[in-house]
Amino acid sequence: MQLSLRFVPALLWLVPAFCVSATSLPDTGKLHQDPAWHTLLHYQPQGFGGVEGQADDPNFFFSEQGKHSPEAELQATLEAILAPGGGNEHARCRFPARDTWLRKKLDLPDTPVSCPEYEKWTATLNTETVTLVFAASYLNSPSSMFGHTFLRLDPPQEDEETNLLLANTISYAADAAAHDSEILFAYKGIFGGYPGITTIQPYYEKIRLYSDIEHRDLWEYQLNLTPSEVDLLLAHAWEIRDHNFDYYFFDENCAYRLLALIDVARPGTDLLDEVSTHAIPSDTIRWVMDKDLVSDIYYRPSAATEVSWAIERLPDDHQTLAAAMANGFVKPGDEEVQNLSPEDRAQVLDATYDYVRYQSEAEGWPREIAAPLSHALLKQRSKIENAPPPPEPPKPEVRDDQGHDTFRVSLSGGRLGEQNFSELTIRPAYHDILDPPEGYRPGAQLQFLRLDTRLYAENDELQLEQIVGVEIRSLSPRNQFFSPLSWQVGFGGRRTDTATGRRVLTPYLEGGAGGSWRMTDNAQAFAMATADLEIDDDLKRGYDAAPGADVGLLFQHARASMLTGVKTRAWIVSSQHRQDQAYIEANWHLGRNASLFSRFEREHHFDRYRSEWQLGLHAYF
């Protein structure tokens, strides 16, 4: 049979593509086993020697077997990038980091390709250096309890301050529905119910969110990436920006994805190898520091920190005067303000103005109140000549990444009533209110998945004493300027006494709210109304509930911490009785990664008195 000549051009056009796929692919040998290739594809080891790509979007892979086969994906990627053509949908434009890496490893034809969208994107970002930014923890939001990290893409430094504020940022977060409650967000975030998305935003928007609204200090860690490493990081950010990676609150979170970007930019850093069960942002900063990836560190205090510093610098009587002006009891031009020395008057007016501006921005003070008052304060301030401007808040002596490590193991011995016991406690994360306080928020506590096991000496009985699912406490002192709510919440399982004298492991949910007041620089008193719920078949009606109160004193210092107080609970469902406790706990800090601890408790419960004491060692890893 003769072939019509009109089909010859079409057949000739097919020859190059056929040759690429069948005969022209270079020998890749064991290149698919290269750790850098696994990093580019986000492969992680699985059981029995296999791997799995963490991308949950099939369009991230060229091969149908690509999610589990690095070799098949390597071959399919080579075919795609060597295929003729160009434009935004070509493989070299969709996956420029893979293309760059493969061309360094293999002798591939350097055929020019035009990628208009990618070229416009990189030109818009105009990146010379990259800075890893850490936003301090924020207990009032489940997504921010451990802090948050993102990358700032710094342009050439011609006008440093202006350029940095206008610089773009890369961040990774859960794509949560706007109407989801905080509880639903926490649940879905833990179990992977949200897709993770990579977003690009101006830095000034991040500052407004974290610093001005959420009162979070920012730490900026400038990375020492070379220009080619910066280009590779941006290329991979382009690759993953539209692809779904399921978000997990503990491990595959904001910090985890940024570590992957840095690993791609500088192969061999292996930051992801540091991640085990969880990737806490402050821990990831430590790993980046340990890998010598940081050239400079900068501190950017939040608006709340600046206002608090300006107020705390004032003597007590000047603080009272500033509060009176802010609340309208004293006018900025009144005699008691004018009688101050020019320097003191300038400090009081500056602090009051900063406070009013902060309340207007963060707390929504009405404009009709804040605007006239701000104008009056500025008018009086402008009349003072040669008064120095307010100083910047000092940089904390200890950064968040220099605090204690978050994984804690504790060994202790003690006595409960007439029984001696030994106890082993494992806590994966994060911080106890009595742990070394440096690098953490004062008065804040956040613990996840703490497990307490006891061995009683008399009968060699091993018991699960307590398991803490979540335990959060926020003791924020109140004063004449700020009135934050102190609160606590927790759930898990704990040993509790029954009317028959048995100690049973009971699921519980507890919470409380109240106030805290500063006593000295290191001590504060607190009082909270509390509520407890226990559920167990050993209880008379299967559950019990108790309103109560917790009043105490907290002392936090670099060398030692102490918590003491009294609790009372009135159980009102299964067995109407009162449970009263007096307690004192103390930790002696042996540096930032070890503490000696002791605890004593005296309890009156079911008309019985009982004492418990404990002495042991905390080690942080």
pLDDT tens, position by position, 167-195: 999 988 766 654 565 556 565 656 556 66
Could you say which of 300, 321, 339 is where a domain stops?
300
Beta-bridge partners for 489: 472, 511
Could you say which of 325, 352, 382 is where a domain stops?
382
The residue with tokens 């930019």 is: 265
349 domain-assigned: yes
> How far apart (Å, rounded) are the C-alpha atoms in residues 96 and 80?
12
pLDDT value of residue 251: 60
198 domain-assigned: yes
Which residue type does 435 have?
Answer: D
Residue range(s) defining the domain that contains residue 439: 403-620
Token code pair at residue 244? 């779904």
> How far apart (Å, rounded) are the C-alpha atoms in residues 266 and 269?
6
pLDDT value of residue 274: 87
Which residue type does 489 have?
Answer: V
Contact 257, 241 (CB under 8 A): no
Could you say which of 253, 268, 300 is where a domain stops?
300
388 domain-assigned: no
pLDDT value of residue 263: 96
393 domain-assigned: no
**What residue ranges of the chain have pLDDT lower than 50?**
1-23, 178
Does pTM surpass 0.85? Answer: yes
> Do residue 83 and residue 136 come from a single domain?
no
> Do residue 152 and residue 38 come from a single domain?
no
Of 46, 45, 54, 53, nearest to 196 (Cα)?
A: 54
Of 47, 87, 86, 41, nearest to 60 (Cα)?
A: 41
394 domain-assigned: no
pLDDT value of residue 620: 96
170 domain-assigned: yes
387 domain-assigned: no
How many independent structural domains does the chain possess?
4
Contact 335, 382 (CB under 8 A): no
pLDDT value of residue 542: 87
Which CATH number do you get for residue 432? 2.40.160.40
